[in-house]
């Protein structure tokens, strides 16, 4: 089976490519640095020749509201059209748990547009919605930082390790199209403000997290359950302690 991973050089993409290759599948990592660009169309038709499955784990280079929306709209349109033309049999995309509840956020309006294009296309598909990656906790902390304080919502989160995301994505990639949305999450639930405080302490960062129910998460005010999955998500096995210990080890 030939599989193309769009965004195959990224955090999730590189782990997914490695795993699929280990399982014996011909897997091509595609990204602008590797000559494939879903915005300009460069290299797209060529890389998709004789491809059965495409996994889209690309991300917008800019998180500015309009730029994200344009990225996911243009990339989604170009990619789905090229897949149809090439006769691809299954399109998978990585999205975020709660995306449909987060339209107040510019970033999530981009993800909603990406999901809407997939559902409206003729491609058999699987949308995999993940919770926040442990690797993203630093970015979340930064988004709420002013001086030495970090203001964050105390809404619940259930973060997941990128390796668990890649393992789950590989399984869905090798399965039949779900023609719907599946959810994946980490093994433990915390309040976002507490999780980030714990992360900062582990990093020897002396900043203090202040829980604030009105603090916005990339533009959206959160209620308690907005970022956590519904019934029966697939759960990863790596918890925060294990993930953090592994970060300290040389690759």
Task: Give start and end residues of each alpha helix (H) in the chain.
Answer: 11-22, 44-47, 65-86, 106-120, 137-143, 162-174, 192-202, 240-248
Could you say which residues in the range 11-40 bind ligand NAP, by CB under 6 A?
11-13, 31-33, 36-39
Could you say which residues in the range 45-64 bind ligand NAP, by CB under 6 A?
57-59, 61
CA distance 145 to 209: 9
- What is the SS3 assignment for 10? coil
Strands 53-56 and 2-6: parallel
Q: Is 170 in the site for ligand NAP (CB under 6 A)?
A: no
CB of 159 to ligand NAP, least distance (A): 8
CB of 132 to ligand NAP, least distance (A): 4
Q: Is 167 in the site for ligand NAP (CB under 6 A)?
A: no
CB-closest chain residue to ligand NAP: 10
Query: Is the four-CA dihedral 128, 131, 136, 140 of positive or negative sign?
Result: positive
**Residue closer to ligand NAP, measured from CB, 133 or 172:** 133
Give the position of tokens 């919770």: 131
Query: Is the four-CA dihedral 76, 183, 216, 157 of positive or negative sign?
Result: negative
Q: Is 9 in the site for ligand NAP (CB under 6 A)?
A: yes
The one-character DSSP state at 233 is P
**Residue closer to ligand NAP, measured from CB, 94 or 238:** 94
The one segment of 132-140, 147-155, 194-202, 225-233 that binds ligand NAP by CB under 6 A:
132-140
CB of 140 to ligand NAP, least distance (A): 8
Q: Is 133 in the site for ligand NAP (CB under 6 A)?
A: yes
The one segment of 127-135, 149-157, 190-198, 215-223 that binds ligand NAP by CB under 6 A:
127-135
CA distance 97 to 25: 28
How many positions of this chain bind ligand NAP (CB under 6 A)?
A: 26
CA nearest neighbour of 4 among 22, 21, 27:
27
Give the position of tokens 């964050």: 152
Enumerate binding residues for ligand NAP (CB under 6 A).
6-7, 9-13, 31-33, 36-39, 57-59, 61, 75, 94, 96, 111, 130, 132-133, 136
């Amino acid at each position: 089976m030939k599989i193309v991973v769009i965004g195959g050089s990224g955090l999730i993409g590189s782990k997914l490519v490695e795993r699929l290759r280990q399982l014996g599948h011909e897997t091509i990592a595609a990204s602008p640095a590797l000559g494939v660009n879903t915005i300009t169309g460069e290299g797209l038709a060529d890389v998709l020749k004789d491809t059965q499955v495409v996994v889209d784990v690309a991300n917008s280079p800019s998180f500015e509201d309009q730029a994200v929306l344009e990225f996911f709209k243009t990339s989604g349109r170009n990619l789905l059209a090229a897949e149809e033309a090439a006769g691809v049999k299954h399109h998978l995309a990585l999205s975020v748990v709660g995306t449909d509840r987060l339209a107040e956020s510019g970033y999530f309006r981009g993800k909603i547009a990406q999901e809407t294009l997939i559902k409206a296309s003729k491609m058999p598909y699987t949308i995999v919605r993940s919770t926040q990656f442990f690797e993203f906790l630093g970015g979340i902390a930064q988004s709420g930082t002013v001086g030495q304080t970090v203001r964050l919502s105390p809404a619940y989160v259930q973060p997941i390790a990128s390796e668990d995301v890649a393992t789950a994505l590989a399984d869905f990639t090798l399965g039949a199209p779900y023609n719907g949305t599946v959810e994946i999450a980490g093994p433990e639930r915390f309040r976002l403000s507490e999780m980030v405080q714990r992360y900062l302490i582990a990093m020897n960062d002396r900043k203090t997290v202040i829980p604030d129910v009105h603090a916005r998460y990339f533009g959206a005010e959160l209620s308690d359950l907005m970022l956590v999955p519904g019934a029966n998500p697939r759960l990863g096995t790596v918890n925060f302690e294990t993930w953090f210990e592994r970060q300290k080890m040389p690759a």
